[in-house]
Structure 1
């Protein structure tokens, strides 16, 4: 008997995850999606939320809910996350991404736990590569000049920062990395960047033409933004509360683009397949 998986809500990543799970032999039903999406014929689309009571596995999106509502950007309707959890069978396994403590507690209230696929190292590392690719694609679309010899700044040197450096260097960009930890700065230098601590950053800002922020806390405020040239492009890749003061950027007439969640926008098929592969790996462990 094929294992039944319900894919409820989410963006195009979830559409492609559903397709990939169906290709792997699972019986997949999609809930919380509109018409005209690239589902394969192997995926059953349903508008009947009572189907939740029949699923053996529920796949929730990366960013599960917003203000208690299931995150359903591709559907005009709304459904409360609590209502979804209330209908599940007692033995249903639940997977989701970036699970909040509030969501965990809500699931526990109904006798369930949510396994967070975005805590899997292989997935988060791959997601960083997709984010870097998407950020560079966006930058090239927004600016008329080549990356070759372009002065670029990366704020933060975690997974995304490292992925960005490698790709920018391959284009011949001149990259500066701003990082607080000495070991991160040393690694950035070894990997071909100029590395600075944040107190040193103001002297490097005027020459930058492209800035990528990966730090989810304030690092580029009005003072720092005022030092950038007017034609500098800033891409905010971090989650809230963000590292770039977007209001200050607007006030100073600096072009800053909120570009969080790029894999879901630039390469949703690959991102969705990665999510599905993570679920399938867990399936092999438990089913």
Structure 2
């Protein structure tokens, strides 16, 4: 239980609603910041502005999956209020205050280092990334069906990157009957692709392979789908870029070539916010309960 534990939830999307529900079940004291336009309230949680919350009382803060932008601003779909996380505000929190985010950036990393607060980027954890790959794959299948006039079965599909998402994407599309080719940089990843009975190639040779590509799915957060790569693609090719913004595709050149290219980060929050929120809630509550236990043993 989290009785007596004070937590601020700052902005976010529908995924945060599942986190809120789970924390209420565990009897935490919740401060909801950036939820004033939410259609329904939560019994046991207080909707407030950031200035109305006493940071000295907080044991933890939960940011949206994207965290902040490079100016420290936090997005929320449930309010028109501006939420800004500053050094002056954060350093008023207790030293044990944990700060959860999905991903981090230079602003957020530097801010927590300067204030000596513990930052927990949830998407850096293998368990979160692997669980999250399930709704990501389902969303990718949905986009592939919506934006093509041919079946996945028998299509030639390129997957770039064999990370936690790339592996799930490649395996699932292969199980749907597609001819899947996977590009990677590391020799051990190329060996794993071979072990999975899929065709492998080195990313540096990508442009030599895309002449027969029906769908290209990128998971690499670097510019790998360049103009030279796109130039060699058939006009029918669909590009689905799952990498975090700005993605790994030259979208300008793709549009010029008449090739449909879709940037689709954060698919779990779009196609399955309840499941994606439950994944976050499970990990956050696990970390909080473990942290309480450690503090109690000090």
C-alpha separation in 2, matches of 1:192 and 1:42: 52
Runs (5+) with no aligned partner, structure 1 = none
The equivalences for 1:229-248 within 5 A come to 229-248=234-253
* Contact 1:16 1:39 survives alignment (8 Å): no
In the TM superposition, residue 230 of structure 1 has moved relative to its aligned partner by 1.2
Match status 1:6 vs 2:8: yes
C-alpha separation in 2, matches of 1:174 and 1:24: 47
Partner of 1:18: 20
Partner of 1:79: 83
Partner of 1:62: 65
| Aligned partner of residue 168 in structure 1, secondary structure | helix
Range that drifts further, 251-260 or 132-141: 132-141
Change (3 A) 1:218 1:108: closer
* Cα root mean square deviation, aligned: 2.2
* Contact 1:118 1:124 survives alignment (8 Å): yes
Runs (5+) with no aligned partner, structure 2 = 293-298
C-alpha separation in 2, matches of 1:110 and 1:8: 18
Calculate the TM-score normalised by the size of structure 1: 0.90
The equivalences for 1:1-287 within 5 A come to 1-37=3-39, 40-47=42-49, 49-53=51-55, 54-74=57-77, 75-82=79-86, 84-287=89-292
Change (3 A) 1:84 1:277: farther
Change (3 A) 1:234 1:39: farther
Deviations 1:198-239 (A, max 9, x none): 354334312211110111112221121122111211011112
C-alpha separation in 1, matches of 2:139 and 2:168: 11
Calculate the TM-score normalised by the size of structure 2: 0.87
* Contact 1:9 1:31 survives alignment (8 Å): yes
Change (3 A) 1:142 1:87: farther
In the TM superposition, residue 37 of structure 1 has moved relative to its aligned partner by 4.8
| Aligned partner of residue 62 in structure 1, secondary structure | coil
* Contact 1:218 1:241 survives alignment (8 Å): no
Change (3 A) 1:47 1:230: same
Aligned residues between the structures: 287
* Contact 2:247 2:263 survives alignment (8 Å): no
In the TM superposition, residue 52 of structure 1 has moved relative to its aligned partner by 4.3
Range that drifts further, 212-221 or 136-145: 136-145
C-alpha separation in 2, matches of 1:37 and 1:247: 38
Deviations 1:49-91 (A, max 9, x none): 3224233221112222113233223121212210642553454
| Aligned partner of residue 114 in structure 1, secondary structure | strand
